[in-house]
Amino acid sequence: MLSGCIRQLRAGLGGPYALDFGAVLAMGHAQHAQIDLLADVLPQVERILLDRVREDDEQ
């Protein structure tokens, strides 16, 4: 479920800056994920995904 989150980034002129938690939670609900657990891990997942995107941009 979390692997699809990379497509749920909020972006501006400076590039991606946040994960769209609402969209991710809606995806989790549709996929019958444990929403409480998903909400707990989203801040860490957001940091990891943004770091990954920034690293890819630098290369």
* Residue of higher predicted confidence among 58 and 19: 19
Higher pLDDT pick, 10 / 5: 10
Q: Please give the angle made by the CA atoms of 4, 47 and 22, to the nearest 5 degrees.
A: 50
Q: Quick one: pLDDT band at residue 4, thresholds 50, 70, 90? A: confident
Handedness of CA 40, 44, 47, 51 (dihedral sign): negative
Task: DSSP letter for 22, please.
Answer: H
- Read off the pTM: 0.81
Instruction: State the average pLDDT for the chain.
Output: 90
Q: CA 7 from chain center: how many Å?
A: 7
DSSP secondary structure letter of residue 50: H
Q: Where are the domains of the chain?
A: 2-58
